[in-house]
Amino acid sequence: MRAYQVTTFDSAPEMKIADLPYVSVNEIRLRIEACGLNFADLLMMEGTYQDTPPVPFTLGMEVAGTIDEVGPEVTGFKPGDRVAVFGGSGGLAEYGCYPADRAVRLPDGMSAVDAAAFQVAYGTSHVALDYRARLQPGETLLVLGAAGGVGLTAVEIGKLMGATVIACARGADKLAVAKAAGADHLIDSDTDDLREAVLALGGADVVYDPVGGDLFKAAFRACKPEARVIPIGFASGDVPQIKSNHLLVKNITVIGLYWGGYLSFKPEVITNSMNQLFQWYSAGDLKPHVSHTFPLDRAGEGLEALRSRKSTGKVVITI
């Protein structure tokens, strides 16, 4: 089978011919139809992500497709079932083997592209806003990087949860995407003073930040008393340092979130979240925004679209 692999951290990934993976007792083998790209894939290419596998490995964290074979101890799934899986890696290939307990059956009518764009982005935002920040109806949610893969889902979910959503993104085109997703107020990070603009709207109860850097600092200063700030990632490349005495002035809480980490110590958090998200999808309340799709032999172009921030929402590779 074909697989897009990282062989060394100082060279670009390459398309390789690999053996068809062998199914172990508790695994499913998936004929992969689509793979969603994530910022973490870029970090894995450099060996800087916290869960980077040893080289050589195949990129691609989240996939959707049709089960081809099941291990002898697998129950609840059979060949022919359509599922999505967060595997952590291995998705940019024609087949992959995954633990059966990570598979989620797709709702009727959900395409493989939608499913591959769904888990990480929507799962991250829902667990962050619901389980971690306890976002309440009527509160004000500030979303940084609001047209990106996770940011856009935070806008959608924040509106579904009854919040007033302030979307911050770069340029009119990206802000238009955030507005279409339900944002109530728009801030252009290229031209607007983020702190002043948010304070003029009354301040933020919850800040959702996948960007870091100067935007984090400005958003922090625009918080209301008892605000909750959720660092999701650091797409700017700048990990901000927080002065603990500043937290005291407004009784601000900073809440860490590593969505994938729950798989190892509290998987029911992700399972419960996915059940809610698929219900919203089936009801028509959520629609993944995919700005780019590429075939497997152009996976490098997909990763570059992500790196250069030319994409909005998700980039998906079709297999």
Condensed to tens digits (0 to 9), the pLDDT of residues 266-284 reads 988 988 898 899 999 999 9
Residue 75 pLDDT level (bands cut at 50, 70, 90): very high
148 and 82 together in one domain: no
| Helix (H) or strand (E) segment spanning residue 142 | strand 140-144
Report which of 149, 132, 58 is spatially closest to residue 169, judged by C-alpha positions. Answer: 149
Within a domain: 209: yes
99 and 177 together in one domain: no
CA 228 – CA 254 distance, rounded (Å):
6
Query: Is the pLDDT confidence value at 62 over 90?
Result: yes
Within a domain: 270: no
Within a domain: 301: yes
Within a domain: 86: yes
66 and 132 together in one domain: no
Lowest mean pLDDT segment, chosen from 37-51, 55-69, 195-209? 37-51
142 and 219 together in one domain: yes
Residue 66 pLDDT level (bands cut at 50, 70, 90): very high
Report which of 183, 189, 151, 171 is spatially closest to residue 289, judged by C-alpha positions. Answer: 151
**Chain-centre distance for alpha carbon 311:** 14
Question: Can you give the residue range of the structural domain that contains 153?
Answer: 121-260
Q: Which two tokens stand for residue 292?
A: 């780019």
186 and 246 together in one domain: yes
* Helical ranges in the chain per DSSP H: 39-46, 112-116, 119-126, 151-160, 172-180, 194-200, 213-220, 244-249, 262-265, 267-282, 299-307
CA 80 – CA 89 distance, rounded (Å):
22
- Predicted local distance difference test score (pLDDT) of residue 260: 87
- Predicted local distance difference test score (pLDDT) of residue 162: 98
DSSP state of 101: G
Residue with tokens 């080289």: 55
Within a domain: 56: yes
Query: Is the pLDDT confidence value at 149 over 90?
Result: no
113 and 135 together in one domain: no
Report which of 319, 264, 315, 259 is spatially closest to residue 39, judged by C-alpha positions. Answer: 315
Report which of 26, 9, 59, 24 is spatially closest to residue 319, judged by C-alpha positions. Answer: 59
Q: Which two tokens stand for residue 166?
A: 């302030």
Are the C-beta atoms of residues 31 and 68 closer than 8 Å to each other?
yes
Boundary of a domain, candidates 223, 240, 260: 260
72 and 150 together in one domain: no
What are the backbone angles phi and psi of residue 283, rounded to the nearest 5°?
-80, -5
| Plot region of 32 (φ>0 → left; ψ -120 to 50 → alpha; else → beta) | beta
Q: Looking at residues 308-319, what average pLDDT do you find?
A: 91
The residues, ordered by sequence, that sit 6+ positions from 121 with a Cβ below 8 Å of its Cβ are 36, 38, 149, 150, 152, 153, 288, 313, 314
Residue 45 pLDDT level (bands cut at 50, 70, 90): very high
CATH number at residue 190: 3.90.180.10
Query: Is the pLDDT confidence value at 73 over 90?
Result: yes
Within a domain: 154: yes
Within a domain: 45: yes
**Chain-centre distance for alpha carbon 181:** 16
Residue 263 pLDDT level (bands cut at 50, 70, 90): confident
- Which carries the bigger pLDDT value, residue 212 or residue 267? 212
151 and 172 together in one domain: yes
pTM (two decimals): 0.87
Q: Looking at residues 72-94, what average pLDDT do you find?
A: 96
- Predicted local distance difference test score (pLDDT) of residue 134: 98
- Predicted local distance difference test score (pLDDT) of residue 50: 86
Antiparallel, parallel or unpaired: β 62-70 and 103-105: unpaired
Residue with tokens 């995407």: 177
As a dihedral over the C-alpha atoms of residue 24, residue 36, residue 65, residue 93, rounded to 10 degrees, the angle is: -60
CA 141 – CA 208 distance, rounded (Å):
7
**Chain-centre distance for alpha carbon 254:** 20
pLDDT, averaged across the chain:
95
Report which of 16, 92, 20, 59 is spatially closest to residue 319, judged by C-alpha positions. Answer: 92
- Predicted local distance difference test score (pLDDT) of residue 306: 92
- Predicted local distance difference test score (pLDDT) of residue 156: 96
What are the backbone angles phi and psi of residue 65, rounded to the nearest 5°?
175, -160
- Dump pLDDT digits (tens) for 224-244: 999 999 999 888 889 999 988
Q: Which two tokens stand for residue 184?
A: 């109530």
Report which of 157, 257, 154 is spatially closest to residue 167, judged by C-alpha positions. Answer: 154
Q: What is the percent of the chain with per-residue pLDDT over 90, rounded to a whole number?
A: 87
12 and 97 together in one domain: yes
- Predicted local distance difference test score (pLDDT) of residue 235: 85
149 and 202 together in one domain: yes
217 and 243 together in one domain: yes
Residue 309 pLDDT level (bands cut at 50, 70, 90): confident
Q: Looking at residues 148-168, what average pLDDT do you find?
A: 96
**What's the total number of domains in the chain?**
2
250 and 138 together in one domain: yes
Q: Looking at residues 172-179, what average pLDDT do you find?
A: 95
Within a domain: 280: no
Residue 209 pLDDT level (bands cut at 50, 70, 90): very high
